Amino acid sequence: MLVIDLQHILSSGRYARYSNWAGDSPEYAAWLYQCNVLLSERKYTSLHILEIVLRNRIDEVLSRHFSNEWYNDFTLIKDYRQKENIIKAKEILNKTKRDFNKGHMIAELTLGFWTSFFNKSYENLWQQYLHDIARTADGKKMERKFFSSRLDRIRSLRNRIAHHEPILHLDLHAIHHDTLTLIHAMSPAAHAWTMQHSTFIPALHDHGYSLVGGVA
């Protein structure tokens, strides 16, 4: 009954992805879908911590070098999409919060807003100030590209999870490693907490990801 219901619950296009991976086996397709839902759930812990730490560290550095409300300085914000995000965030907060504060503002800005600080247009800002958000294991400052290349893959995975899309075809081991690497670079304490509470890797192993990960 569960297999039959699955085909009716999902759209034909969404179910077809799992069916193709499963070689048209309804039982295997249902198992793959279950794996996808579970792994998406388990990945949330590290994604949650990464986003929180990333925005807080950027805010700390920019507040220290510019002003406490640096997001109001549109000479500092270069990307027009970031500026639109700030305007939209203020509109939302004005409607939902009687007296919104900086914490509300920081939380309302999207992950895309924060990752935009790692684009080429911010190279000078990175060299001057933003490198302070993280350090390598031996204490050296990190390059912008080290962050940007990893954040692109992490954000893509995060968006797929948020929109309930398949993730089994991705290199989840590598993306999870990137996530932990960036968390550690910004906050060893946050990394230790994540390692203690995340159950993503055990879930990969328990659900046979060494086999599932070969789908395409």
What band does 212 get if pLDDT is binned at 50, 70 and 90? low
CB 82 within 8 A of CB 76: no
Confidence of residue 117 (pLDDT cuts 50, 70, 90): very high
Average pLDDT over residues 33-56: 95
Residue 179's Cβ-count burial label (10 Å; 0-12, 13-18, 19+) is buried
Q: At what angle do helices 188-197 and 26-65 cross, to 10 degrees?
A: 160
Kindly list the domain boundaries of the chain, sorted by start residue. Answer: 38-68+111-212
Specify the pLDDT at position 208.
60
pLDDT category of residue 124 using cuts at 50, 70 and 90: very high
- Cα→Cα distances 38→43, 167, 171, Å: 9, 11, 16
Region of 164 please: left (phi>0), alpha (psi -120 to 50) or beta.
left
